[in-house]
Structure 1
Amino acid sequence: MRRIIHNTTAIVTCLALLAPQIAAAQDGPGDEPREGLSAIIQQAKKAAQDDKQMAEEEDARPAVKGQNKDKNDRKKADKSEKKPKAKPQKADKDDAKPKAKPDQQDKKDNAGIMGEPGKAAREQKAADDKKPAPKPKADSNVLTIGKGQVQADRAAQMPGLAKVLNQEVQDGLTRDQLTCLQGGSYPCADGDRAITPRGVVIEPNGGGPFRLADTANQMFRIGKSGDMVQRAAEEDTRETQAAREAAKQSQPVSAAALNASEGSGKMTEQKVTKDSTRSSSEDFATSLRDALAGDDAARNRSRDDAKDDDSSSDLTKALLLGAGALAVGSFLNNNRQVALSAPDRVVVTRDDGSQEVIKDEVALLRQPGSNVTTENFDDGSSRTVVTREDGSRVVTIRDADLRVLRRTLVSADGTTTQLIDDTTDVQPVDVSQLPAPAEVQNSDAPMNEDELRAALRRESDIGRRFTLSQIRNIPEVRSLVAPVNIDAITFDSGSAAIRPDQAKQLQALGRVIQDSVAENPSEIFMIEGHTDTVGADAFNLALSDRRAESVALALTEYFDVPPENLVTQGYGEQFLRIRAEGDIRGNRRASVRRITELLRTAGAQ
């Protein structure tokens, strides 16, 4: 019996010694022992107490014969040997309860030594490592480039821009970083094109990704140094019939007015007053919309006036004398059809569909107080002399289409300055041999006076001269000198008038031109007008030409810029600064270009 007690006590002692380790393996959250462990210990203690009590009872009974005593001793020994085995059975019953969490099960099964992960933990980690990483959720804001054939073709045509775009995408370009080509932030209306932060124009490809916009819509190109260079508005534009004719010209235009003596032509005379001239703040009396539609009275006047004269002389009469308009739909020489007709200018359409504006080039010179004398000759050419109150004179000779062939300033002291002369040294133009376009203004911020002076006086080493007609009609020639945008001027829709508060913002430009003319009286600046694509082509061309004239008038009225040193030209919607269609303010603009170096005329004589 005492042996049984000793065995039971030993079991309890072992359990007591193992209790901390078992507790550490089975502790739950908050370091609280699990119920299974407590049950095992309590059952072991109870078994020991029962064995002790049984032993005491056996000792109290009377002795029996040895045979029976041995038999009872063997039964008690067998009983005492079976009791320890019953305890693990209860522990196994506890194990049937829900298994512990994976991290706790790793500790329970084959727990490692000194906190190292056990076998189960290592096996679980190996299984986790073999699982594929979960795919990240698609971010709808991240910009991606399509893989279609159109994108591949355009990337091959514009490898430099494609490289810039790919780099932006790799750097994490998002859709909210885009700017709409027509203005405003992304998303753009109706899937319009957008510009990346570095200036690449892209467009939706019909799905989620984007692709490069075509060359005609790109605002930048890659320069020789690998940098992004803003493209001139004249780059990659369609060649017109007027440009081809100007490029082929190799002989000066002949005109009777060039060699005729003064007073030999049909003479008209006009005294200019304030009431007979237009200021920059006033719009034109004739509505271009009405002129575009044409009216029966205008047609009848034109036909009556043209009975004894050809159409060229009729054009001269209409514009020089303001006697009326040509009939819309009628034809001038060189098969040019009248698309818009107004007393101040006419728009004609050529065989290739391109359009030209014809106007009175002396309109700027008709300042109040001056006396204007015009001689008309049989070939349609004319000579106009504007005599000012200070005694100076400006002599302008034009051909039958009113193009300026020669302009000369005769100062009050008799000094003669040749301003324009297209009657000598006329050379054809091979566009493919011309230098690259000049770098254009790459900022919408207004320039101060010093910046304007530097931009306008930047000279180009062209190595030859061009006629005024070549400069006006050949975009590649004109782009050899960069334009300066006149951002201070905005026009109302359909209007060519400039408000006085806007005109005053031309002060810096006026000073720069005035100073340039004071240093070199033969300086020539061309004021250009542009529109957006809203409206008819003929309407926009005439409107842009009127706007260019308004800017020139403002420079003369407010800052005393000599009008003879200015020429004006409207281009309508031909050369968009922002290469997109629609109502875009950035395309309704005026700009100025110093063309002295292109003309290469003689100085004072």
Structure 2
Amino acid sequence: MRRIIHNTTAIVTCLALLAPQIAAAQDQNQDDLKEGLSAIITQAKEAAQDEDARPAAKGKKRGEDELADAMKAEADRKDAKEGDKKPKAKPGKADKDDAKPKAKPQQKDTKDKKADKEDLGILGEPGKAARDQQDAEKKPAKKPKPDENALTIGTGKVQSDRAAQMPGLVKVLNQEVQDGLTQDQLNCLQGGSYPCADGDRAITPRGVVVEPNGGGPFRLADTSNQMFRVGKSGDMVQRAAEEDTRETQASREAAKQSKPVSAAALNASEGSGKVTEQKVTKDSSRSSSEDFATNLRDALAGSDNAKARSKDDAKDDDSSSDLTKALLLGAGALAVGSFLNNNRQVALSAPDRVVVTREDGSQEVIKDEVALLRQPGSNVTTENFDDGSSRTVVTREDGSRVVTIRDADLRVLRRTLVSADGTTTQLIDDTTDVQPVDVSQLPAPAEVQNGDAPMNEDDLRTALRREADIERRFTLSQIRNIPEVRSLVAPVNIDAITFDSGSAAIRPDQAKQLQSLGRVIQDSVAENPSEIFMIEGHTDTVGADAFNLALSDRRAESVALALTEYFDVPPENLVTQGYGEQFLRIRSEGDIRGNRRASVRRITDLLRTANAQ
């Protein structure tokens, strides 16, 4: 029995020691593996049989020594067998290498065995590969190296405040950043790709305006600089140029107006005023292709001999009468720096226009509103009254007449068309039903034209004839001076017209490109003789404010003249207004082509109630 136990113990011990070798030899020839196992087991049995003849005290140690000797012999046998297979070393270098001390194969073999056990998990614990996998799963994933060109958003107070004011825009911006928005995808508002000159603002592909915050990241630009807003459906909607503009003294006064302006010319009989007459010829009228005779830069500088009057002088003199004479009669420019009534200081003065500065720093342009009607072949009769108001009758060769009544500041109070057959059409009437305007109660601005692509005639017709969503009426002064009122109808950009620097002339080849616009307006007036369209002029921010305001007003007049000259649009159905750099389409300062523009707006619905005939 003891022999059986010893034999079994020896065999188990042998197999346990051979387990690593078995694992490491998986790729070896199966016959060699069986042969080696058979020889070792045989030696183990022989050692067990000899154990009875040895002292019992030393039996256990002898069995282990013999087993180790057997294993060494088997290893030597395998080495010898593998050596026979290897090619013999060549004399020379090989001999020198043999002289070097060789690494102990047993140590390497031991390490390999341990590594093999760990990899396979033979020792009863997870293998090394499994442990490495577990450790990798426990460790957090390495974050990818950030792209240096990636756009990042700051987290300062300014950004937080603006994000609270514009939650829709910040949501769009954050989504763009998450989608991998980079700085080279930005476009500068002044033109070109990022980086922008002088730290100028830039716009993202979806239309959010951002600006550097000085520390590397970006932040939302202020509300007044944003060109788009998020609509009810979540889409980006281009904002009207009039949105979020500062309130001016003129807009406040127009909004508070609750009763008509009184003027002697409204009730006086014909011929009761001081009458002047003029026969308009081609030489005495201006064509759209001609520039004005006066130079605005010279007018801005003023006359060397002109002396500015004080505010007290302006109160004592009838400055409104002086203004009327200067503009209506062409008597010459007012002195730059002089004051008109209501403490308006003359900032620029030319025979055709005067720009005044109000106490709040805002500016207005004053001009002869009848200039557009002075067509060759017509007779113009003007009556001036003591309060500065005037009545001008333009009689045409076909017998029709246009009667315009203005107050002391040359603002149109009433305009009436009397056809050759005696039919009367009221075009403008600011003398009745004047109501104050609560800007906070007005509807949202109308959707504006998005993009620079020119419209075809059908699209242009649809855009201009779109009805305004408003029930009440406004005066012409309210429409001109209150941005929120004017934005209730969308403007249509006149992209066909470009102007040379400092010029208001339109070349004939450009004027012909107004054909679609001219035809749409002409058709509209034929259907409804009381239609009114406002032509607007705008500039960029380069140059003096007063110069830009007068220049934009002249350019608006040139567009209206071209529509009349080339496409027979009745001039009485047009009003012109320049805004200079007040309402930027691209909300950035500098030399920007998109801000040097002219546009047209149908204001018929604003001038009348919905059921007016």
Query: For 1:215, which of 223, 226, 237 is the aligned residue?
Result: 223
**Is 1:462 the counterpart of 2:470 in the alignment?**
yes
Distance 1:349 1:136, change over 3 A: same
| Separation in structure 2 between the aligned mates of residue 100 and residue 371 of structure 1, nearest angstrom | 117
Residues 1:295 and 2:298 aligned together: no
* Separation (CA, whole Å) in 2 of partners of 1:504 and 1:480: 30
Amino acid at match of 2:134: A
Quote the offset at 1:261 in angstroms.
1.7
Structure 2 counterpart of 1:567, from 560, 575, 581: 575
Describe the shift of the 1:123–1:507 C-alpha distance in structure 2 as closer, same or farther (beyond 3 A). Answer: same
Is 1:585 the equivalent of 2:593?
yes
* Deviation for aligned residue 1:297: 4.4
**CA distance, structure 2, for counterparts of residue 358 and residue 276 of structure 1:** 21
Q: Does the CA-based 8 Å contact 1:437-1:479 persist in structure 2? A: yes
Q: CA deviation at 1:381?
A: 1.1
| Post-superposition offset of 1:602 | 11
Gap change, CA 1:599 and 1:112, over 3 Å in 2: same
Question: Any idea what SS the aligned residue of 1:491 has?
Answer: coil
Pairs within 5 Å for 1:10-21: none
Counterpart of 2:273, as a letter, is G
In 2, are the aligned partners of 1:336 and 1:349 still within 8 Å (CA)?
Answer: yes
Task: Give the SS at the match of 1:592.
Answer: strand
Q: Which residue of 2 aligns with 1:135?
A: 143
Counterpart contact for 1:392–1:409, Cα < 8 Å: yes
Pairing of 1:280-291 with structure 2 (within 5 A): 280-291=288-299
1:356 counterpart SS class: strand
Matched, 1:485 2:477: no
Aligned match of 1:188? 196
What are the Cα deviations for residues 552-589 of structure 1, in whole angstroms up to 9, with x where unaligned? 01111111111010000011111111111111111111
Residue 94 (str. 1) matches residue 133 (str. 2): no
Which of the residues 355, 364, 367 maps onto 2:372? 364
Q: Which moved more, 1:307-316 or 1:229-238?
A: 307-316
Matches of residues 82-231 of structure 1 in structure 2 within 5 Å?
84=70, 93-96=104-107, 106-107=115-116, 111=120, 119-231=127-239
1:535 match: 543
Alignment of 1:284-433 (within 5 A): 284-297=292-305, 310-433=318-441
Distance (Å, rounded) in 2 between the aligned partners of 1:165 and 1:230:
16
- Partner Cα separation in structure 2 for residue 289 and residue 373 of structure 1: 32
Is the contact made by 1:25 and 1:107 (CA closer than 8 Å) also made in structure 2? Answer: no
Worse-matched range after superposition: 425-434 or 354-363: 425-434
Residue identity in the other structure for 2:411: R
Asked if 2 retains the 8 angstrom alpha-carbon contact of 1:243 and 1:473, the reply is: yes
Q: What is the DSSP-based 3-state SS (H/G/I as helix, E as strand, rest coil) of the residue aligned with 1:296? A: coil
Q: How does 1:443-454 map to 2 (within 5 A)?
A: 443-454=451-462
Q: CA deviation at 1:224?
A: 3.5
Q: Which amino acid aligns with 1:449?
A: E
Q: 1:132 to 1:416 in 2, by over 3 A?
A: closer
Output the CA distance in 2 between the equivalents of 1:209 and 1:82.
72
CA offset at residue 172 of structure 1? 2.6
Q: After TM superposition, give the deviation of residue 348 of structure 1 in Å.
A: 0.3
- The amino acid that maps onto 1:254 is S
- Residue by residue over 1:324-379, the C-alpha shift from the partner in whole angstroms, topping out at 9 and shown as x without a partner, is 10000000011110000011100001111111100010111111111111111111
Q: Which amino acid aligns with 2:372?
A: L
Displacement, 1:108? Answer: 7.4
Instruction: State the shift of 1:187 in Å.
Output: 2.7
**Which residue is equivalent to 1:267?**
275
Report percent identity of matched pairs: 84
Deviation for aligned residue 1:259:
1.6
Aligned twin of 1:441 = 449
Residues 1:85 and 1:597: Cα distance change in structure 2 (over 3 Å) = closer
Tell me if structure 2 keeps the 8 A contact 1:181–1:194.
Answer: yes
The whole-number CA distance in structure 2 between the counterparts of 1:154 and 1:541 is 32
Structure 2 portions without partners, runs of 5+: 1-14, 40-64, 80-102
> Structure 1 residues 413, 99: CA separation in 2 closer, same or farther (over 3 Å shift)?
farther
> Separation in 2 of the partners of 1:191 and 1:602?
48
Residues 601 and 390 of structure 1, relative CA distance in 2, 3 Å threshold: farther
Q: Is the 8 A contact 2:266 2:405 kept in 1?
A: yes
* Residue 151 of structure 1, CA deviation: 1.0
| Distance change in 2, residues 1:449/1:21 (3 Å) | same
Q: Is 1:526 aligned with 2:534?
A: yes
Decide which of 237, 246, 254 is 2:245's aligned counterpart.
237
Distance 1:226 1:22 in 2: 66
The 1:100/1:81 distance shift into structure 2, 3 A limit, reads closer
Per-residue CA distance 1:24-55 (angstroms, 9 max, x = gap): 5689xxx9xxxxx9xxx9xx9xxxxxxxxxxx
Moved more, 364-373 or 226-235: 226-235
Please tell me the root mean square deviation across aligned C-alpha atoms, in Å. 3.6
Q: Is 1:276 matched with 2:288?
A: no
> What is the rounded CA distance, in whole Å, between the counterparts of 2:186 and 2:322 in structure 1?
54
CA offsets, 1:370-412, max 9 Å, x none? 1111111111111111111111111111111111111111111
Given that 1:106 and 1:121 are in contact with CA atoms closer than 8 Å, whether structure 2 keeps it comes out as no
The one-letter code sitting in structure 2 at the alignment partner of 1:93 is K
| Secondary structure, aligned partner of 2:104 | helix
Q: Match of 2:265? A: 257
> Normalised by the size of structure 2, how large is the TM-score?
0.80
**Structure 1 residue 191, shift from structure 2 partner:** 2.4
Residues 24 and 161 (structure 1), Cα distance of their counterparts in 2 relative to 1, 3 Å cut: same
Asked if the contact 1:269–1:374 (Cα under 8 Å) also holds between the matched residues in 2, the reply is yes
Pair 1:110–1:507, CA change in 2 (3 A): closer
Partner of 2:436, secondary structure, is coil
Larger mean CA deviation between 422-431 and 515-524 belongs to: 422-431
CA contact (8 A) 1:299 1:326 kept: no
